[in-house]
Amino acid sequence: MTIPRCGIIGLMSILFFAGPAAADQTIEIRLPQLASIPEYTVPLLELALSKQDRPFKIVLPENSKDLTAVEVMEKLTDPASSEFNLYAAGTSKHYEEIALPIRVPLVRGLIGARINAIPKGSQDKFLSVNTVGDLQNMTFLQGIDWGDIAILEGAGLTVKTARKSHLYPMIASADADAFPRASVEILSERTEYSQLDYDIEQEVVLIYDRFPFYFFTGKHNADLAEIIETGLVTAYEDGSFIQYFRTHPMIREIFAELHLDSRRPIRFDNPNLTPETAALPDYYWHKFSGEPE
């Protein structure tokens, strides 16, 4: 795995920072690779930790790729487990109940900006889509027990579920009209499933209301959560967070190839939205063109 600006040794990615207080205890982060967008989140974590006068070390075990989200959360929230103490993931009410969310959206809401994978040659279906109601005669694919299901069904849409490995083959076979994917996922998945013949829809972006990608710690790691949150907030205040976001290659590719800001935004209510996430300031979220001020 290649992580920009990070040294990689053997089967573990290990990063070090020695600040002015190098004699202080080292902050050690153990972050699973599962769904963590490490090429983006690890340098952002470095940025946040660099705001502290403390040395730090970040470890990403290679064998964590094969764990499920449920397994990671079990390890993260278990005070007796030392395998992981930080996780990056799309949030849910359940995650925010069992773990400790660090409520600074890491990709400014782009995890909730969904682009549809669609059957080859079916773009015309979306040319006149302007509202959620225009999608109600379509069928949408989702993985089993995914958080999107409540959002889509709550909007009156028809959802068909299957194991994740079956979903792209199903859309390529026109077993449904669309498969919504996060804007930060769909381009890398196009490479992963390059043997399949399907299209990326070009007209609309489905926006799940305030659906953030957070860092989480276990509740027993509140000190670590405070250190990271303080660093992220400081990075916002001094402008380095926005500079990092705007210049990161993954983010630049998303806006260039997916034309996010020229798509018609279709906003969905989010039944997983907690009061704490709803209350976050507007400047934490990317505003799409066409959205109300």
Question: What is the tens place of the pLDDT at every residue in 243-291?
Answer: 999 999 999 999 999 999 899 999 999 998 999 999 999 999 998 765 5
Among residues 198, 227, 203, 225, the alpha carbon closest in space to that of 214 is found at 225
Instruction: Check residues 24 and 84 and name the one with the higher pLDDT.
Output: 84
Question: What is the tens place of the pLDDT at every residue in 109-166?
Answer: 999 999 999 999 999 999 999 999 999 999 999 988 777 888 999 999 999 999 888 9
- Does the pLDDT value for residue 172 go beyond 80? yes
Report the pLDDT value the prediction gives residue 129, as an integer from 0 to 100: 96
As a whole number, mean pLDDT of residues 3-11 equals 30
Report the pLDDT value the prediction gives residue 92, as an integer from 0 to 100: 86
Report the pLDDT value the prediction gives residue 265, as an integer from 0 to 100: 92
Cα dist. 226→73, 129, 165, 211, 217 in Å? 19, 43, 37, 22, 10
Report the pLDDT value the prediction gives residue 131, as an integer from 0 to 100: 96
Report the pLDDT value the prediction gives residue 164, as an integer from 0 to 100: 83
Question: What is the tens place of the pLDDT at every residue in 207-240?
Answer: 999 999 999 999 999 999 999 999 999 999 999 9
* pLDDT above 70 coverage of the chain, percent: 88
Vertex 190: Cα angle to 73 and 90 (nearest 5): 25
C-alpha 284/C-alpha 275 separation (Å) is: 15
Mean pLDDT of the chain: 87
- Does the pLDDT value for residue 176 go beyond 50? yes
Question: What is the tens place of the pLDDT at every residue in 29-62?
Answer: 998 876 668 889 999 999 999 998 889 999 987 7
Q: Is the dihedral of CA 154, 160, 161, 166 positive or negative?
A: negative
The pTM assigned to this predicted structure is: 0.80
C-alpha 181/C-alpha 192 separation (Å) is: 14
Report the pLDDT value the prediction gives residue 2, as an integer from 0 to 100: 33
Question: What is the tens place of the pLDDT at every residue in 11-22?
Answer: 233 343 333 334
Report the pLDDT value the prediction gives residue 26, as an integer from 0 to 100: 87
